[in-house]
Structure 1
Amino acid sequence: MDASHTGDEVERESPAPDSLNRRSSERLDVTWLVDCETDDTFLYASITNISEMGIFVRTTQPLSIGTRLTLRFAPPGGDGSYVLEGTVQWINEVRPLHDNPNPGMGIRFVDLTPDDRERIVDTIRTIAYIRDAPVNSN
């Protein structure tokens, strides 16, 4: 594998079970802080993309595939914070020669309430709309 591979490419090369619809929803590049917590681990990292199905957490210390964790994050300018459950679906490990520009882990949301899913979709759509809005040059 060469240095041009991204997390998305690694994901396609090693798909996790139960992930057929993983890319069926809109994905948005972001830079948000996130707290990831398991029974015995606390990780402070950043989200680099989000969809209604899950997030990619950039970290040099990814958790094991299958690990269930609690995620806490608050989109800047958003309508409050999220506390959601997720499962690590795939990891993109740090490599010795530092030829991996995007180390981290793909996390799929689990047990989302309909309200949480709707809030996530609304947040994604709002941010995408703001980014695509024309800039007035008056």
Structure 2
Amino acid sequence: MKRVLIEEELNRLLQPHHSFLKRSDVRVFTAGSSDEILRIHRKELVDLILTPVDLPGTGFEQIAAVIRGDVLTRAVRLVLVAPNSRSAIEACSRCKPDAVVLRPLFPPVLLARAQQLLNLDWRENYRVMLSVSVNSTTGNDAFFCRSRDISATGLLIETDKKLALGSRLTCSFSLPGGVRIQATGEVVRSVAETGAGIHEYGVKFLQLSPGEKEYLENFIDTVALERAS
């Protein structure tokens, strides 16, 4: 479990974005002042702090000095958001941050830097080994195949049908919990012929409904967390 401490206003700005902060293996704490950041970090020993350098309360340079000076709290990753001015940048450098993001703030840049510092894999790279039956159609031609490998961006299918790269499929399958997923996909990779005339293909999802996408992402997060525990 990764623990992330975010200043309240910054958290409100980041929450609308789909990011690692919504993963089940990430716990988010919020703080309204620099003093509260120190108090929460001392209690929770978070892995990452995201905060503007110009916070209410005790100057953040002083708070950062306390954090970096304590053997129990110093290992935290620190990302500061600051105005694009020489004085602000100099103030940030005295806080010994791991990264500084200047205003105007572009949230995806901040989120990507934070995720990198946490050494979290991108969810799209998680793959779940799961045996499911897939009913697929190419044009008017329906056929049956199986999948053992599902990610947030596609799946690996096994079938005795020969498919050309670029073929468009409509795939329908069920995951644990009874939720049925129907997705349009494209064959982007011919993996191998496994014997007995069975072919393996990599299929990239082209379209998922918002509800199906959310369920699939949550399912993959849950499996990834179970693997890590």
Normalised by the length of structure 2, the TM-score is 0.41
Asked if residue 71 in structure 1 is aligned to residue 167 in structure 2, the reply is no
8 Å Cα contact 1:62-1:105 kept in structure 2: no
8 Å Cα contact 1:61-1:104 kept in structure 2: no
Asked if residue 90 in structure 1 is aligned to residue 189 in structure 2, the reply is yes
Go from structure 1 to structure 2 and tell me whether the alpha carbon gap of 1:62 and 1:122 turns closer, same or farther (over 3 Å shift).
farther
Go from structure 1 to structure 2 and tell me whether the alpha carbon gap of 1:48 and 1:62 turns closer, same or farther (over 3 Å shift).
farther
* AA matched with 2:208: L
| Structure 2 spans left out of the alignment, 5+ residues | 1-122
Q: Separation in 1 of the partners of 2:125 and 2:206?
A: 15
- Report the CA distance between 1:113 and its aligned residue: 3.1
- Structure 2 residue aligned with 1:60: 160
| Pick aligned residue for 2:220 from 117, 120, 124 | 124
Larger Rg: 2
Q: What is the percent sequence identity of the aligned residues? A: 25
| Structure 1 spans left out of the alignment, 5+ residues | 1-22
8 Å Cα contact 1:28-1:49 kept in structure 2: yes
Q: Separation in 1 of the partners of 2:124 and 2:139?
A: 31
* AA matched with 2:211: D
For 1:1-16, list aligned pairs within 5 A.
none
| Pick aligned residue for 2:131 from 27, 31, 34 | 31
| Pick aligned residue for 2:140 from 31, 37, 40 | 40
8 Å Cα contact 1:62-1:104 kept in structure 2: no
- Structure 2 residue aligned with 1:19: none
**Once the two structures are superposed, what CA deviation does each residue of 1:19-78 show, in whole Å capped at 9, x if it has no partner?**
xxxx94211111111111122321211111011000000123241111111100001x32
* AA matched with 1:72: S
* AA matched with 2:186: T
Go from structure 1 to structure 2 and tell me whether the alpha carbon gap of 1:93 and 1:41 turns closer, same or farther (over 3 Å shift).
farther
Q: 1 or 2, which has the higher strand percentage? A: 2
Normalised by the length of structure 1, the TM-score is 0.65
Higher relative contact order (CA 8 A, sep 6+): 1
Asked if residue 104 in structure 1 is aligned to residue 204 in structure 2, the reply is no
* AA matched with 2:151: S
SS in 2 for 1:66: coil
Q: Separation in 2 of the partners of 1:133 and 1:90?
A: 29
